[in-house]
Every structure is written in structure tokens, then in C-alpha cells.
Amino acid sequence: MRTQVCVIGAGPAGLTLAHLLHRQGIECVVIEAQSQAHIESRVRAGVLEQPTVDLLTEIGLADRLRREGMLHHGINLRFDGATHRIDFAELTGGQAITVYAQQELVKDLIASLAPPILFEVDSVRVDDTRVSFVHEGVERTVDCDFVAGCDGFHGVSRASIPTGALSAYERVYPCAWLGILARTKPAAEELIYARHPDGFALHSMRGPTVTRQYLQVPPDTSLTDWPDDRIWAALSRRLGEPGLEQGEIFDRGVTALRSFVVEPMRHGSLFLVGDSAHIVPATGAKGLNLAVADAVALSYGLGAHYAGTPDELAKYSARCLRRVWQVQHFSWWMTALLHNLTGTDAFDERLRHAELDRVVAAPSAARNLAENYVGLPFAVGW
Ligand code: FAD
Ligand code: DHB
């Protein structure tokens, strides 16, 4: 098979890119290792930034998320027994976030995608501009001009780049998140980020009857050590929320917290997009949004390339990395601000407390949080 761009991976990065390429008349094929049912039910992110929603609206893909997603104009920070609302609308000139499950966005992106997606591909290999794989038991190859490696942190794209061609920058945090989905009514209208001596907790939601909640846990945590009673007791203590309801927990998982970036985000004709190039700790709710921002930058570069302006494509990596490092900084900062990290002492603890105090007391500090949380612009030029 011959196409212009072979997109590896049908997550938010790959699917957004395929839509944006198609809109510019650029041919592509998407190949995905998992089944459609699997990726449409994989529980992950839930927060869409303003620029992500604006983009999806502009390309006509936001009808359901605007109907069913929850528009939030702020978040609550809770520590020392007090709650402080960060008012995004007031601090950012009316911007907001939308709470909408990643798997629902993936469904929407797949349902309206014109380019073909081949699901359940196996043994994927990238050799320059040839991608080979097995699909339905048959060996297939795609010859293309460019390969978009949108296959996440554990994919083949980054792994197919020779050692030494990329530099990796990494921080692994001494904690993880235990995340649950529960059939309970949200205890608040907006998210609650709680700092507590026992560790961080987050109260989020997926609708009027489903909550998504997270607890800071040690990195080697086994779910068998966390029966429902223990999860509810920890959420209740750390959130300090009198309205917290208990109910059926119908999904649970443990996710490591990690910061990771490779540079550059390109090797020859292979471009790394989204989690294949970088991971952020979940505290800032940024991973999905960063994946979409990369897809925007790559579609812009490829559009310019096919229109006869190749210089724009050459800027892809530098352009993405500038935003990536802003988002890395914000995610690292939010993580350090709200978690109990081992290896820190009473002095660090007081510094962190001073910082939190400033965020809730000084509008300039609150604005910095709000601007980053609602999302930095996708400005291709900066
Ligand atoms: P992925 O979504 O990982 O997609 C990669 C795709 O490639 C997958 O479908 C995979 O099956 C496929 N693939 C892998 N290997 C191959 C191969 N060899 N061949 C073909 N296909 C392959 N981000 C936010 O912005 N906000 C949040 O609130 C948030 N919360 C999160 C909470 C949790 C618990 C977790 C785990 C993550 C969260 N994230 C959040 C991060 C977010 O989910 C990811 O950053 C996002 O999925 C990245 O999108 P992507 O398309 O780059 O990669
Ligand atoms: C959610 C996930 C996050 O990582 C976060 O910071 C806020 C909310 C969520 O899944 O709803």
C-alpha cells in the first residue's frame, strides 16, 4: 500500500492528526495495535483544555463533548482544612476546561474519521519510509513519505530510532496514583485537588452519577492491598469532604507519575507525536492535551511541506519542545505542590506551604496556575 503519511497509533494524537491531514487533502493510513472496542473503553484522562476544545469545535468534532461534557470555570484547592477556589474565568478572561472522558473523545474521533484505520495490527516495524506489520494474519507494508509515531510511551516508533540519536530527560516520582471510577454523585461542582499529611487526593467526575477519584499511593502499590473500605476511608480523610458519597467502584488502576521527554522529536522522516515523545505526571491533566498540540504542529508542518514550504516541517521538533517544556514545568510544579514526596524535609515542606499560600492569596500567582491549567495557546508560530 502507498500513502503520504503512515500514522502509527489511534490514540488522541494519531486520530487528531489523521483528521487534520485529511482536512488538508493529505492522504494517510492509521494502524492500531489494539481492537476498536479496547481503545474505546480504555479509562484514562478526563480534562480537555480550552485550546483542545476550540480546535475540536473548529473542525466540527465537538458536538457531543459540548452536549455531554461538563464545562468547569474553576478548580478547588484544599489544604489545612480550607478550600480555595481558583476562578479560571475571572483570571483568564473567560476560559474554561471541559471534563469529558478520553475514551468518549476517542469514540468521537473514530466515528467521523475518513482515512482508514487498521485495528489489531501486530509485529509493527519502521524502516525509514516503510512500515511493515501483520494484519488479519497477512504481512502488509505501507510505503509513505512520512511516518507519524503516535503510538504512546511503549510503542515501536521511539524504540526504532537508533540509540544515541535521541537524548532523554526523565524524572520518576516516588509515588503513583490509584484511580477509581465509582457510581456516586459528585460531592462538588468542580474538581477538588487536596493536599493532606497522608498524601494527595483528587475528586473528579464523569457525569451527574459517576465520580473519578485519585489517591497518592506508593509506586509499588498492589490493588489487592486496597479493598473498597480502605479507598473510601482514605478519600474521606484526605478530601475532608462532608458530601463525599460511597458507592460501587467499577474500575480501578494504578498509574506511575513520571516526567519524560526525548529530544529531538524527529528522526529523518519519522516524527514522534504525543506520549511517544513525552510523559507528564497526571497532576496538571496535560498528557492528552499535549498530544493534541503536537498533532496540530505536525499537521501544520506537513501541510506547509506539501504546499511547497518545507521549512515549517523542519521546525516541528523545536516548536513542540518549547510548549512541552512549559507543560512539563507546570506538571512538575503542581505535583511537587500537592504531593507528599519522600526525600523532602521540614524546610521543603514549609517552602511548599508558602507557595500554596501565595497561589491562593496573590492573584498574579493564581493567574499563573489558571493560565497553564486552561491551556497555553496552540500558537504554531511561538
Ligand atoms: P496513547 O493514548 O497512549 O495512544 C497510543 C496508541 O498507540 C494506543 O491506542 C496504543 O494501543 C497504540 N499502539 C501502541 N503500540 C503500537 C504499535 N506498535 N503499533 C500500533 N499501535 C500501537 N491527560 C490529560 O490531558 N488529562 C488528564 O486528565 C489525564 N489523566 C490521566 C489519567 C490517567 C490515569 C492516565 C493513565 C493518563 C492520563 N492522562 C491525562 C494522559 C493521557 O491519557 C495520555 O497523555 C494520552 O493518552 C496520550 O495520547 P497519545 O495519543 O499520545 O497516546
Ligand atoms: C482527571 C485526571 C487528572 O490527571 C487530573 O489532573 C484531573 C482530572 C480526571 O481523570 O478527571
Which domains, from first to last, does the chain contain?
A: 5-46+101-166+264-342 (3.50.50.60), 171-257 (3.30.9.10)
Mean pLDDT of the chain: 96
Q: pLDDT digit string (tens) for 229-266? A: 999 999 999 999 999 999 999 999 999 999 999 999 99
pLDDT tier at 153, thresholds 50, 70, 90: very high
124 Cβ inside 6 Å of ligand 1: yes
Residues in contact with 211: Cβ distance below 8 Å, sequence separation at least 6, in sequence order:
181, 182, 184, 185, 186, 187, 203, 204, 205, 245
* Ligand 2 centroid, distance to 274 Cα (angstroms): 17
pLDDT of residue 380: 58
Residues in contact with 46: Cβ distance below 8 Å, sequence separation at least 6, in sequence order:
99, 100, 101, 102, 204, 206, 212, 285
pLDDT of residue 382: 46
> Is the pLDDT score of 143 beyond 60?
yes
Q: Report, as an integer, the average pLDDT of 130-156.
A: 98
212 Cβ inside 6 Å of ligand 2: yes
Q: Report, as an integer, the average pLDDT of 22-48.
A: 97
* Ligand 2 centroid, distance to 225 Cα (angstroms): 23
Closest-CA residue, ligand 1 atom 23, reads 287
Closest-CA residue, ligand 2 atom 9, reads 46
* Predicted complex ipTM exceeds 0.90: yes
The closest-lying atom of ligand 1 relative to the alpha carbon of residue 14 is 51
For the purposes of burial, counting CB atoms within 10 Å of the CB of 54, is it exposed (0-12), middle (13-18) or buried (19 or more)?
middle
The closest-lying atom of ligand 1 relative to the alpha carbon of residue 9 is 7
